[in-house]
Structure 1
Amino acid sequence: MEQLTLFPATLTLIAINVAASLYAWANPKFLMGNLFWVQGVREKREYHRFLTAGFLHGGVFHLLINMFVLFQFGRIIEDILGTPKFLIVYFAALLGGNAWAYLENFRKPDYRALGASGATSGIILSFCLFLPFATLLFFVIPMPAVVFAVAFIGISILLAQNENRVIGHEAHLGGAIFGLVATMIVEPRSLSIFSDQVARVLGGG
């Protein structure tokens, strides 16, 4: 139990996501009023959607996947950065991901999305910066985290071009980039930590 106190923000974010999603499933009006919706932002100036959409999910599987990722990576990044910096990275990724999706779909007023995947994408990329050679699974294929990061961004760019997509890859891409940049801003040593590990591996040291 004492270990749980080491990452209070991660656990709090999970609790909020679960509570908000459960409430939204039982209250469709609340769900529709808080998910990400281009027309709602563009014409009605409902800017709260940039934030609130990141705490809502489309179903149990969607929620479980995002919360599993948040727990697995969030507690590590919160431990490395400390709670305040971790929260800055998380919300920068969440808001940045939805802002990216808004710009990508500005001419699609009916575009709607929800979920914490923009935020969790940023946390994963932050993890890759600190632990570039940790083994991660990408579609069940094991690979170093640094390779995972490149593949994740590249595939998100490609899939975001698909007009018939049902997954918000734009938010994944924006969240990943904003999370990476936010990490470098709040912890400038992250770049040297990353480069030192790369140099050590490439140099065989």
Structure 2
Amino acid sequence: MIQQLLSLPPVTQFFLVLNVAVGAYTLLANPALIDKWAFKPFRVVRDREWSRWITAGFVHVGFAHLLFNMVTLFFFGPYVEGLLGPWRFLAIYMGSELTANALTYLKYKDAPKYSAVGASGAISGILFSFCLFEPFAMLYIFFAIPMPAILFAVLYIGLSIYASKREVGRVAHEAHLGGALGGLALTILLFPSSISIFLEQLGLM
């Protein structure tokens, strides 16, 4: 396992280690930091706690939450970083986290009790960047249900919009949507030929 981790591209490796280290520390040794670092739009507005835009992406509500995000990063991060290089990958990862929080901010800036944590926004951005290059790659939803990446992307966005409007469950659907759209936009901005690659895969070029 350590050998596999060391063989990963540098930025993917860095975020895996950082997320696991911070996640384990906050969950086991200092749970108070989860609330202190969570993204709370109302506090950002009232108290100008700008650091929450970043810190929220490295704390999780539980080990299952952390594990799901890190497994997704482990499988898709190396491909995207290998294709785009470390600096563009870093920009997409952090940029997607910020766009995820931006949508959350717009929706909940007047909600004093709302808070969100987790790397899901950044991970959504990386996953959607992958979908742009490999639209027909088979993804296994919940490790069991096969689905082409392009179909997954369409359903993911549609479901996120629907769930966000209805506020279904405790999942931050607007953050997932913001991260996914941010990942797509940043990939196209930083690697313009991704559009032609995508269209070629669809047989439109």
The match for 1:10 is: 12
Query: AA paired with 1:195?
Result: L
- Distance (Å, rounded) in 2 between the aligned partners of 1:135 and 1:60: 26
Note closer, same or farther for the CA distance 1:55–1:168 as it changes in structure 2 (3 Å cut): same
Distance in 1 separating the partners of 2:7 and 2:158: 36
Q: 2:88 maps to what in 1?
A: 85
Which residue is 2:132 aligned to? Answer: 129
Per-residue deviation, residues 156-199 of structure 1 (Å, max 9, x unmatched): 11111233520001100000000100000110110000001101
- Indicate conservation of the 8 Å contact 2:5/2:13, yes or no: no
Structure 1 residues 12-161: aligned runs within 5 Å: 12-25=14-27, 26-138=29-141, 140-161=144-165
CA deviation map 1:31-57 (0-9, x unaligned): 222111122211111011111100111
- Is 1:38–1:110's contact at 8 Å kept on the other side of the alignment? no
Residues 1:177 and 2:181 aligned together = yes
TM-score w.r.t. structure 2 length? 0.92
**In the TM superposition, what is the alpha-carbon distance from 1:22 to its structure 2 partner?**
1.7
Q: Calculate the aligned-residue CA RMSD, in Å.
A: 1.8
- Distance of 1:195 and 1:188 partners within structure 2: 12
Structure 1, unmatched stretches of 5+, are none
Secondary structure of 2:47's aligned partner: coil
| 3-state secondary structure, aligned to 2:203 | helix
CA distance in 1, matches of 2:23, 2:180: 23
Q: Distance in 1 between matches of 2:4 and 2:62?
A: 31
2:136 and 2:4 map into 1 onto residues whose CA distance is 29
State which of 190, 195, 204 in structure 2 corresponds to 1:191. Answer: 195
**Number of positions where the alignment pairs a residue of Structure 1 with one of Structure 2:** 201
Moved over 6 A (4+): none
Unaligned runs of 5+ in 2: none
